Amino acid sequence: MLDPHTAEQLGGQVDPETRDEMAHTTARAVVHRARAAEDPEVVDRLIRLVEREGLDVVAGLWSDATPSSLPGALWRLYVLREWVRRDAATVTLRYRLGVDAAPVHEVVAGVPRPPEPQDVRALADDVLSGVYAGDLAVALERAASFCRILATGAAFDADARDVADPEGAARMTRGAAGLVRTAEELEAAAASWRAGTLD
């Protein structure tokens, strides 16, 4: 990984073309080397990358990448994991609210029923583990289904709060739309990986 000084320089002092090249190069290196190594310790370190390096460092590498590219998909997976890690109770509530309306996505996501906070944390770790040591397309599809269930739950929650807290309900509705967009981007990345074009 880049040292903090180098990562800071990614924030605007590097031209966009170089920044994009760095994002793709680092993403390819991390994913392909981890998959080649087949080392559970390496996979575990990569799953916990944000905890060790910080979200800002990972953002400096990948947050500006095209959404359905390899670095863009990695960025979305790490942000999703960080949200689950920091607020598993809210994520679990949204999952419970949305899961009955999305039975196909429930099967793909693979979270036990009824889900507990430790179950959604385990899913987030399993998804990243699948990126580095499993079927990457399946990992992306699991994350996409998880996002779709959370989006449904957020929409239901927004409807329930609309009268008492219209501003909060509007924020939740925007969040639900963002989760659907993330799901679509992850699904596109999964299709690209299967086609051999995810870069």
pLDDT in tens, 137-179: 999 999 999 999 999 999 999 999 989 999 999 999 999 999 9
Given this model, what pLDDT does residue 69 score?
95
What is the value of pTM for the model shown?
0.89
Helix (H) or strand (E) holding 118: helix 117-133
Percent of the residues in the chain that have a pLDDT greater than 70, as a whole number: 93
Instruction: Give the residue among 62, 55, 20 at the shortest CA–CA distance from 185.
Output: 62
Q: Is 84 helix (H, G, I), strand (E, B) or coil?
A: helix
Given this model, what pLDDT does residue 79 score?
96
pLDDT in tens, 126-137: 999 999 999 999
Given this model, what pLDDT does residue 13 score?
61
Torsion of CA 83, 141, 137, 36, to 10 degrees: 30
For the segment 94-100, the average pLDDT, to the nearest whole number, is 96
Given this model, what pLDDT does residue 16 score?
80
* 8 vs 35, higher pLDDT: 35
State yes or no: pLDDT of 191 exceeds 80: yes
Torsion of CA 75, 124, 150, 113, to 10 degrees: 170
DSSP secondary structure of 18-70? HHHHHHHHHHHHHHHHHHHHT-HHHHHHHHTHHHHH-HHHHHHHHTTS-TTSH
Given this model, what pLDDT does residue 8 score?
54
